[in-house]
């Protein structure tokens, strides 16, 4: 077991994740297997059970563990540990801080936070998932975590918190979290952008949690954010993912974009690596509200697409900068895709972390959200 956990830490560090001694101790000390007592889905779709000979080896790898499906769609999981580490580092937790977690999942993330000395309140919309997380925390002898079955949009109305961390993909920030956030607090959350969920570090612009009435918020634009890293998350339910005027189109499923043909040749030799491609993808989402991702024939990974209004055509930008197009407006979307590559290249290929994000109030008028609506590259 000691060898497994040492290798586990090395896997988490492999892509340059900086583990503090305290966070490394948390990952080494919290038994991840205690949080998946019912097993999880293997990469090949089969189910891994605790009695399987390779169960612990699979648990202690840097990979997401899907623990619940609904009609074969994943609806609960334990996130990839290296991504969890990045988000927890960005949260800047100190002993004694009160943390509101939106999305309990297996309870493993809350256990790591508690091991760093935080007092955690975790809100989970799925009651059965909340029950299992609570039982797992007890089984692992983790103290300092409270799990509440409730809609994450409301947060925990009777609480006050120094930090908020969100472990599901959201379209925007609930104003109710700001009510519960102490002065100087911050929110770390994966916020939808062009079909993905880059993780943002979000702060009230003037250091206050909430500058007064909702009317003040509407006029003041109280939040600013920076991008921490690319990511993809399961999507939250309810108001946190409500459609709004500037929402991106959903991803295009396999077979949606038939008849793709070459529109523009490759631009990058060698092709962009995964991080560079995500940087281009993020910029495309800043400049086009039609950006999302699509399954493309012959490609194992989804690709960046500017999809047309009919969702039957558009233009795909590949990692080498080449463009494929199809549909009734292929020329229009192909030209826009080429212009996107040109613009990103002319800007010096900015990484997604270079962007500064502003927010506007949108969504359901009865349950509004603060969603990203402006971006700038500081000079």
User: Hey, is 354 helix, strand or coil?
Assistant: helix
For 219-249, give one letter per residue: b (16+ CB within 10 A) or e: ebbbbbbebbbbbbbbbbeebbbbebeebbb
Residue 6, Ramachandran bin (φ over 0: left; ψ between -120 and 50: alpha; else beta): alpha
Q: Say how many CA atoms lie within 13 Å of 352 toward its Cβ.
A: 27
Residue 310 vs residues 193, 290, 331, 356: alpha-carbon distances, Å: 20, 11, 15, 31
As a whole number of Å, the end-to-end CA separation of the chain is 50
Among 76, 78, 79, 174, which one carries the catalytic annotation?
79
Residue 79 a catalytic site member: yes
- CA dist., res. 21 & res. 25, Å (int): 6
Peptide bond into 285 cis (omega under 30): no
| Catalytic machinery residues | 79
């Amino acid at each position: 077991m000691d060898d497994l956990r040492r290798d586990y830490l090395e896997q988490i560090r492999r892509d340059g994740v900086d583990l503090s001694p305290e966070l490394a101790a948390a990952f080494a000390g919290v038994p991840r297997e205690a949080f998946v007592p019912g097993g999880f889905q293997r990469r090949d779709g089969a189910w891994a059970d605790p009695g399987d000979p390779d169960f612990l080896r699979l648990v202690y790898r840097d990979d997401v563990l899907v623990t619940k499906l609904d009609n074969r769609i994943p609806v609960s999981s334990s996130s990839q540990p290296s991504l969890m580490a990045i988000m927890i580092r960005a949260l800047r937790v100190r002993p004694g801080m009160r943390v509101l977690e939106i999305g309990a999942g297996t309870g493993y993330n809350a256990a790591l936070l508690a091991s760093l000395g935080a007092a955690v309140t975790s809100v989970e919309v799925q009651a059965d998932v909340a029950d299992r997380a609570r039982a797992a925390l007890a089984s692992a002898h983790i103290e300092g975590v409270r799990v509440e079955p409730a809609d994450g949009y409301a947060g925990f109305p009777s609480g006050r918190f120094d930090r908020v961390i969100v472990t599901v993909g959201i379209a925007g920030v609930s104003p109710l979290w700001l009510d519960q956030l102490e002065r100087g607090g911050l929110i770390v959350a994966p916020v939808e952008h062009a079909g993905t969920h880059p993780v943002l570090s979000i702060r009230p612009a003037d250091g206050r949690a909430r500058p007064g009435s909702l009317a003040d918020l509407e006029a003041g634009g109280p939040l600013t954010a920076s991008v921490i890293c690319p990511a993809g998350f399961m999507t939250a339910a309810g108001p946190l993912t409500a459609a709004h005027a500037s929402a991106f189109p959903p991803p295009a499923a396999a077979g949606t974009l038939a008849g793709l043909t070459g529109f523009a040749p490759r631009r990058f030799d060698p092709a962009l690596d995964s991080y560079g491609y995500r940087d281009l993808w993020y910029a495309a989402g800043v400049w086009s509200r039609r950006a999302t991702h699509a399954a493309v024939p012959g490609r194992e990974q989804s690709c960046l697409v500017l999809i047309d209004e009919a969702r039957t055509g558009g233009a795909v930008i590949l990692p080498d900068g080449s463009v494929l197009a199809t549909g009734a407006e292929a020329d229009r979307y192909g030209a826009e895709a080429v212009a996107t590559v040109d613009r990103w290249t002319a800007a010096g290929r900015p990484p997604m972390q270079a962007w500064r994000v502003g927010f506007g109030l949108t969504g359901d008028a009865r349950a509004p959200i603060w969603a990203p609506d402006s971006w700038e590259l500081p000079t």
